[in-house]
Amino acid sequence: MKDTLKVGASVETEIVAAPEMGITHLGPDAPRMYSTPAMISLMEQTSIKVLTPHLDEGEQSVGTKISVSHFKATPIGQKVRAKSTLTEIVDVGRPSKRYRFNVEAFNEKEKIGEGTHERAMVNVKQFASRP
């Protein structure tokens, strides 16, 4: 990891809630609403974007922890925006560090979710060779 990454780094990502991002797993009669797994995925993808410009060759981040509340519904077809802000870089006594984020999600009207997310840096070749 390059030393250019600083606490406070932030990225926002905006998508349109597509039908496949809905609560279809609840059956055909479920309302056409944006799902919690889709919101979490957007938060995680946005956190990855905070780290990506600072990666060295052969590095990648992996998710290690997430704690999120999803408290407002969003109809399919609305815009959803996620924001991820790096809040802490934790030295865990190994070459890898942990990266903690505050994550938030908004629809076109209001905040729909928030929480925290943690990622660890890995060497892709070493990680892929684990049994």
Say if residue 131's pLDDT is above 90: no
The reply to whether 112 falls in a domain is yes
The reply to whether 44 falls in a domain is yes
Say if residue 92's pLDDT is above 80: no
pLDDT tens digits for range 12-21? 999 999 999 9
The total number of structural domains in the chain stands at 1
The reply to whether 4 falls in a domain is no
pLDDT tens digits for range 47-71? 999 999 999 899 999 999 999 999 9
Domain that holds residue 77: 10-128
The reply to whether 3 falls in a domain is no
pLDDT band at 27 (very low <50, low <70, confident <90, very high): confident
Q: At 95, which CATH number?
A: 3.10.129.10
Average pLDDT, rounded, for the chain:
93
Lowest mean pLDDT among 16-20, 40-44, 55-59, 121-125: 121-125
The reply to whether 114 falls in a domain is yes
Q: What span, in angstroms and rounded, lies between the C-alpha atoms of 131 and 127?
A: 9
Phi, psi of 99 (to 5 degrees): -125, 120
Say if residue 95's pLDDT is above 70: no
Q: What span, in angstroms and rounded, lies between the C-alpha atoms of 34 and 19?
A: 8
Q: Is 14 left (phi over 0), alpha (psi -120 to 50) or beta?
A: beta
Q: Which two tokens stand for residue 75?
A: 């109809």
pLDDT band at 105 (very low <50, low <70, confident <90, very high): very high
Q: Is 51 left (phi over 0), alpha (psi -120 to 50) or beta?
A: alpha
